[in-house]
A and B are shown apart, each in its own frame.
Chain A
Amino acid sequence: MTAATLPAWQKRRSALNHDWLKNRFIPALAKWLNLLDDEVEDPDFELAFLRTVLPQWAERRADIRALLDDFEWQMSPVNLLPEESDDWLIGLVHALWLQRRPVRCWVDEAGGRFADVNRAYQELLDQLRLEEPHEASAWLRPLRPAFARFCECCQRLARCLEVFPSEIRIP
């Protein structure tokens, strides 16, 4: 038995992981790495990257953290029970779900990846602060390893978020 419509959590994940992280943020980071490697020229993007692209992580990370925190209860099969269900039944169904599916492992794993991204982001910011306040990519080439590390962490987080089920199922 599954829910007839897409759960709200799945919609949030779709907006965050597919629409933003995978389709926009990671391609922009990957393009930036190619720009640092002198494979790509894009003066507009070069000017905009540090000001508008990179800070998107700081703007969105709270949403991603909330997505992880909400998963256990929003995707629990208790959401399929009638509203008037007894507390013992709700507790039993949820416990069975936790027992049969590695729900908390998924969340912990994704939480670890999320923390990795935050750490890589902070390291990147620390290194950027040491640099002169300019935006020319040539001057930022020494920071390429830090940008690459941040990009890899984002890629791992995106893959990790994909592992979560997209439907609510009775265990």
Chain B
Amino acid sequence: MSLPPLLPRLLIVDDLFGRSLHDRRNEERASLCGQYLLEDVTGDQVQRGPQQRIKNPIAQAVFHRGQRPLRARVGDLVENDLEEVLRVIRSGWTEPAAGQTCWSLVLLDLCFHTGSVTDASNRETAGMPEGQEADEQPQHYFGLQILRAIQQTMPDLPVILLSSHARDEVSQVFSRYGALGFLAREAAESPELLRDFLHRHGLIPDAAGLIVGQARPLLIALRAARRIARARGNVLIRGERGCGKELLARYLHQHSNATGGGRPFVTVNAGALSKELYGSTLFGHQRGAFTGAVADRVGVIAQASGGNLFLDEIGSLPPEIQAGLLRVLEYGEVAPVGAEQVQKVDTRFLSATNDDLDLQAAHGAFRSDLLDRLRLGGTLVLPPLRDRLADLPALVERFVREAEARTPGALIRRIDPDALDVLASYHWPGNVRELAICIANTVCEYPDVEHLVPVHLRLPAPVKGNRPPAVLVGAGSAAPVDQAQGLAELLARIQAFSFEGQRREHLIGKLPELQAALAGLLRRCLHAALELTARVGSSGDGPLRLEVLIHPALKLLTGDPRLSAATAADLIKRIMRLAPDDPDVLPADPLLREAYDNAQRLRPRKPRTRKTASETDG
């Protein structure tokens, strides 16, 4: 279940369209909304008779006059009001109301008419003053004053000029003051023009719902992705682990004019590839190229030709593969392993990393010429979850519903505001992925409740330092403050523990208890590794889901980069079967369950186990 996408929200600052009338609606505003297909949500329209309705609005619009009084009668003096304009702009920019996005775009008029409202001026246009000469002179345009003030105080705010005056008169000035474009009032194909401006400059949520959220840092990243998407340059996506780099790559792919419409989007996790498989996976191989190459294989670079290749954890590419990749990027040629001829490809690389590749390049661990080519089309930076906590309610809603759908018999629950407060107080080093896992575990552990409350949440201990404080709640939250130190101490105690001198009665029935404790410990350890290496993905336009990656998890746990996928699967099955009571009953933990299922699929044959004493005797 997903929330309906929000419409973009425009602020239109204009004396003609923004003015409020005492006894009737502003017809000019109604015409503008009908022209651009805008839903007027200003809230000041006089409700009399049938009202205008836009069937499929492009955006919602809030109108502001920029002057006082907002409603002027004959005899009133109309003056520009910079302070009030900035207050209105700021209120919807830095503190949008609950359930609303920040301004997607501000459309700003240039010329604001001031002076007295006379009988004649009121007859011509109700509530409008007669105007003064300075109002019409470009050097005195009030719109440019507003623009300058916005540039000084809210430089990220996207502003487009909407004017009936000549663009040439002000083009240099408005560019210098940071306006992103100029929309002529009389423009033909107005809705299409506005859609295009919104696409290129607007801060708008992902209408497809692939990426959940409307916090400003996220919307800025989405806009950057849309802008980059139209070109074919390679893109580097940076961000902390778990913040959704692959989703952003998919979003970029969806907005690529040249690469959409069924063009391939291929993903590969460079960090999960064994050294032997790098070349074959990326470049492909020919039959007989090496032992085990029983058939030709098309590499992922060729598979993605004409589309996009998402290369995750690019920082873990070994040097020899970096050199091979450089050739692909430089010449658009792939040489499959064992092949004598190269193959032309047109593949755009969307690489992702949470490493500091510039630092790695400075130390010689990553080729700087490769890095330059990987980010030729631009670099996107995804904000961590702690910088977009405004999105927490929507994300929690999404993850709760998905977890309920995955958990048989789980009740649909309300999300208690206190639970959101608790979640918001944690610093989320694992970002959205960590939140998804936390919620999945919560729903799995408490399937039969109708409210998600703080006591259901299990958050790890806070990290020392300048991170925001975490709140510990729920059973089992008394974890050691320093996890690394706690684990070292535990290992030391286990290794040093002696059973010498134990009395007979102290050892009765201790083996099953020790086995259970050890099995639980190993499962929790495995869970932690799976959590760290899982990724949030989706199948096409489907809902988000956690993808468990058993191979990287076991590489992490064993510290063995050469560990094979088969061995990883065997290890997982062994860990799962350590419990003494009923080794076939798997834990409710969805991560472990999925890992076990994956391991079974990969290695359906049971690993050999020692026969127990009773079996031997029998």
Contact = CB atoms under 8 A, between A and B. Distances in A.
Interface of A: 5-6, 10-11, 14-15, 17-19, 21-24, 26-28, 30-32, 34-35, 38-45, 151-152, 154-155, 158-159, 162, 166
A42 B30 contact: yes
Nearest to B34: A31
Contacts of A18: 111, 164-165
Contacts of B56: 39
Contact of A28 (B31, B51, B54, B111): B31
B175 interface: no
Given A22-B185, A24-B28, A155-B188, A35 B133 contact: no
A41 B35 contact: no
Interface residues of B, number: 35
B286 interface: no
B52 A41 contact: yes
Contacts of B136: 6, 10-11, 14
Interface string B18-58: 00000000011011111101000000000001111111100
A31 B50 contact: no
Interface string B180-196: 00001111101100000
Contacts of A152: 188
Contacts of A15: 124
Contact of A26 (B16, B33, B186): B186
A30 B37 CA distance: 10
Contacts, number: 94
Main secondary structure of the interface of A (DSSP, over half): helix
B31 A27 contact: yes
A38 B186 contact: no
Contact of A155 (B28, B137, B186): B186
Given A18-B164, A26-B185, 6 more contacts: A17-B164, A21-B186, A23-B16, A27-B28, A27-B32, A39-B56
Interface in B174-223: 184-188, 190-191
A51 B187 CA distance: 25
Contacts of A45: 30, 34, 52
30 contacts: A6-B136, A10-B136, A17-B164, A18-B111, A19-B124, A19-B125, A22-B164, A22-B184, A23-B16, A23-B164, A23-B185, A24-B31, A28-B27, A28-B31, A28-B34, A30-B31, A31-B31, A31-B33, A31-B34, A34-B37, A35-B34, A40-B37, A40-B54, A42-B30, A42-B51, A42-B52, A42-B53, A45-B34, A154-B186, A162-B166
Nearest to B168: A162
Contact of A34 (B34, B124, B165): B34
